[in-house]
Structures are given as structure tokens and as C-alpha cells.
A and B are shown apart, each in its own frame.
Chain A
Amino acid sequence: MSEFLRVAWLVVRKDLRVELRSKELLFTTLFFAVSCVLVFAFGFVRGGRAVDGAAPGILWIAIAFSGTLALGRAFERERYHDALRGLLMAPVDRPAIYLGKLVGLLLLLTVVEAVLVTMVAFLFQAPLFQYPFRLYALLSLGTIGFISVGTLFSAMLVRTRNRAVLLPVLLYPVTIPVLIMGVSGTAALVQPEPDLAMARLWITLLLFFDVVFVTLALWTFEPVMTE
């Protein structure tokens, strides 16, 4: 087990080091997320006021969009100089590589989401910071659910020709439950009379989703990636 975690950590460290040197993924994803929210602002602000109840949806759609962008690029680096083959040929547990990639993406999206939440709260007058811990739970569990599926799909599409198109085509239908749970949970927190019991229910459901889909992805990563 410790060997498994050590390999995963090595992958995370490698990705972080590459990212810290180039900052490519972080800056492009952040910029995309910010412009996404601005586009929504032009669509949903009428007569100087934000449309009621639009904030949770805008927040989660922006997360899903920028998450897809990051996911699409996550394995792109590995394509140069056949790095992916090198990774897969390393005498280590393959699911550990998946876990490492997943954690790396989670760290990246955490930074992006911190900016997104602040921006949405600011631009759409949503009381997002009213229950910070519950919102944090919703966001982190929702993101894990989204990228648990996304990392696997992105990895398996690396070798296909149409990967840029196919990733969102496959990813969105499968992760719709995450979006429903995330949006409904956030809406329960920011509505005029917050419904904490409902928010807790959605958090629990997200937790179940994460457990099932991370397990499934760890289980299928090896056979899907074997040539």
C-alpha cells in the first residue's frame, strides 16, 4: 500500500514540478474559467441585476467547462516523446499512475475553484461564503467525482485521433449526476432560506458517487490502458 501511495506521490510531484516551471495549465485554465463566468454574466445579468438563483448553476458549469479543458491537457504532455508509454512501462502499479494524475488535477482545480467561487459570489451577489465548510465539501467531492471519470476518459482517449472532441462528448453525459448533485446542493445553501438537511443529503450522495467511480476507475485503468 505504501509503495502504491509512493508511486502516486511521485507522479503528483512530477506533474507539480512541470506545472510550477511552465504554469501553462494553471494560467490557461484560470483564464478560461474567468472568461466563462464573464460570458455568463453577460447572459444572466438583466437591468443591472443578476437573475435570481442562477449563481449555483453558473459556478458548476464554469467548473465543468474549465475542468474539461484541464483534463484534455492533462495527458497531452505525456504524448510528447512517448512519455506515456514510458510511464506505463514502469514496473509499478498502473492504478497508482491514475491516482497521481487525479490528485494533480484536483490540486489544480482547487486553485481555479477558489477564484471561481469568489468571482461568482462577487458578480452575482450570491451568499456563497455563508456556510464555507459545507460549500467546501460540495465543491471538493463534486470535483473528485467529475475528474475521477474525466481522468480515466482522458487517459483512454490519449491514443485516439478525435480526443479533443470525444472527451466532452463522453464526459458530460456520464457526469451529469455530479452536476445535478453539486448544483442542487449549492442551491440549497445559497437560497434565501438555506436548507441544510438537503445540502447534507447531496453531500452524502456525492460521497457515494466518488467512492463508486474512483473504485471503478482504479479497477478499469489497467485493462483500458493495456495495448
Chain B
Amino acid sequence: MNRRLFPLLTGLSLVIFVTAPILIVRAPYESTMGLVQKIFYFHFPSWMAMFFTIFILGISSVIYLFRRKPVADRLAVAAAELAVVFGLMGLITGPLWGIKAWGVWWQWDARLTMAVILELILVAYLLLRQYGGPGSDRLAAGLGVFAMANVPFLYISTEIWRTVHPRTSVVPTLPVDFGIPLWWSFTGFIVLCLALLTARGRLEEQRAAVDKLYLALEEE
């Protein structure tokens, strides 16, 4: 992991996170939902960050399985932990918005169901890493591949199962006044995500180095 990348990315995300609230405040009120709609600028980017990290988890799991590159494994752990965190953000902001927009905290709607299941898979991944014992890195990589492959099936099956949540087609057709703060927050989340990925990856790298030193010490 690049040592200089982390401060650069952190600084950049800091700039975006300081300026984003100004843009969000200046964005017009949505006609039916009013103030509560502003959760959107937080809610949507956190889900996008989650999908981004699941994608990274899947790709690095494939690389680790077939090429055995330790860096891919470290990236996979970092991505999985971040995906859980961003998913939790989405799961918390979702009901906050839902109680205002739909009048209930929770609905067995397609997107919500899918979000919960994805979160479940990711927590299972972390459990496997934590309690799997030696060799669990390879097993976790296998699970990572299956987690990524599951996304389209979850999407389709829950979509047919039921839908109250606004369609994803809402996002590209958004008026510019709403769109600018949204994509600005989105960029902020992705940059923050990358910053945390590099930091977490480096932590894992150093942990592996310490483990190796301990082993070397015991052998002497």
C-alpha cells in the first residue's frame, strides 16, 4: 500500500465533506418530502460505497484464490469491513427516511431486503475470518467470490418479490439542483472509502509483518 496515498485521499475527502453540507443546504427543497429528503445526499452515496467495496472484495478474492497474492487478501479484508460499515450507514439512514416518507420504519421492500441480506453475507464473511482459524483466508476468498456473484440474483429476486422503494432510474433523471450536491457527496464517499481502504490495508500488512517477526523469533 502506498504510504503517500493515504494523506492525499484523506485531505481530498475532508475538503469534499466540508463543502458538501453547503451545497446540500443550498439545494432546493423537494416538493413532497421537504427537509427529510436531504438524507438522500447521505443515504444514496453510502449504498454506492457499499457496492463499490463489495465489487473490490469480489475481485480481490478472485485474485487471491488464483494468484495467491497477499496484497489481494489484505484488500479483501479491508473492503469487507468497509462494506459492513457503509451498509450500516445505509441501513440506519434508510428507516429514518422511511418513517417520514412511508410512515413506517421498515418495509419488506426489494431494496431493503436486498440490503439486509448483503449485510448478512458480509457479516458472515467477517465471522469466518475471525473464527475460522488457520487457512480461513482462502475460505474467505471463496466466500467473497460467492458474495459478489450473489448480487445480481439478490437484485432480481427481491425486485420481483416486491417493490415500494423508488426505482434506481430516479437518480440519472434528477434535476441539476439536486444532482450537483448528490454527485459531490457521492465523490466524497468514494474518496473516503479509498482512503480507509489504503489505511486498513496497510494495517493488515503491518500485522502480517509483526506475525512474521514473531515466528522468526520463536524459531531462533
Query: Is A213's beta carbon under 8 Å from chain B?
Result: yes
Q: Which of chain B's residues 28-87 have a Cβ closer than 8 Å to chain A? A: 65-66
Q: Do A161 and B133 contact each other (CB < 8 Å), given the known contacts A169-B127, A174-B147, A213-B146?
A: yes
From A17-25, A74-82, A149-157, give the one contacting chain B.
Answer: A149-157
CB pair B131 A216 closer than 8 Å = no
CB pair B147 A166 closer than 8 Å = no
Instruction: Name A220's closest neighbour in chain B (CB-CB).
Output: B142
A169 to B117, CA, bound (A): 12
Count contacts on A: residues with CB < 8 A to the other chain: 32
A169 to B141, CA, bound (A): 16
CB pair A209 B153 closer than 8 Å = yes
CB pair B138 A166 closer than 8 Å = no
CB pair A181 B142 closer than 8 Å = no
* Chain B residues within an 8 Å CB radius of A205: 153, 156-157, 160
By size class, the interface of chain B is 20 to 34
Query: Is B21's beta carbon under 8 Å from chain A?
Result: no
Q: Which of chain B's residues 125-162 have a Cβ closer than 8 Å to chain A? A: 127-128, 131-133, 135-136, 138-139, 141-143, 145-147, 149-150, 153-154, 156-158, 160-161
CB pair A201 B133 closer than 8 Å = no
Query: Is A224's beta carbon under 8 Å from chain B?
Result: yes
For the residues of B in contact with A, the DSSP-based class is helix
CB pair B149 A180 closer than 8 Å = no
- How many A-B Cβ pairs are below 8 Å? 83
For the residues of A in contact with B, the DSSP-based class is helix
Query: Is B124's beta carbon under 8 Å from chain A?
Result: yes
Query: Is B121's beta carbon under 8 Å from chain A?
Result: yes
CB pair A224 B161 closer than 8 Å = no
A153 to B144, CA, bound (A): 12
Q: Do A166 and B142 contact each other (CB < 8 Å), given the known contacts A160-B136, A180-B161, A223-B65?
A: no
A198 to chain B, nearest CB (A): 8
Q: Which of chain A's residues 153-204 have a Cβ closer than 8 Å to chain B? A: 153, 156-157, 159-162, 165-166, 169-170, 172-174, 176-177, 180-181, 184, 201
Option from B139, B143, B153, B158 in Cβ contact (under 8 Å) with A160: B139
Query: Is B15's beta carbon under 8 Å from chain A?
Result: no
Query: Is B209's beta carbon under 8 Å from chain A?
Result: no
Considering residues B65, B124, B138, B142, which has the most beta carbons from chain A within 10 angstroms of its beta carbon? B142
CB pair B150 A162 closer than 8 Å = no
* Chain B residues within an 8 Å CB radius of A88: none
Query: What are some 26 contacts across the A-B interface (CB < 8 A)?
Result: A149-B146, A156-B142, A160-B132, A160-B133, A162-B131, A162-B133, A165-B131, A166-B127, A166-B132, A169-B128, A170-B124, A170-B128, A172-B120, A173-B117, A173-B121, A174-B121, A174-B124, A174-B143, A180-B157, A180-B158, A212-B149, A213-B146, A213-B149, A216-B146, A220-B65, A223-B138
By a beta-carbon cutoff of 8 Å, the part of chain A in contact with chain B is: 149, 152-153, 156-157, 159-162, 165-166, 169-170, 172-174, 176-177, 180-181, 184, 201, 205, 208-209, 212-213, 216, 220, 223-224, 227
Additional A-B contacts beyond A160-B135, A205-B157, A220-B142 (19; CB < 8 A): A165-B131, A166-B128, A169-B127, A170-B143, A173-B117, A173-B120, A173-B124, A174-B150, A176-B117, A176-B120, A177-B153, A184-B160, A201-B160, A208-B153, A209-B153, A212-B149, A213-B146, A224-B139, A224-B141
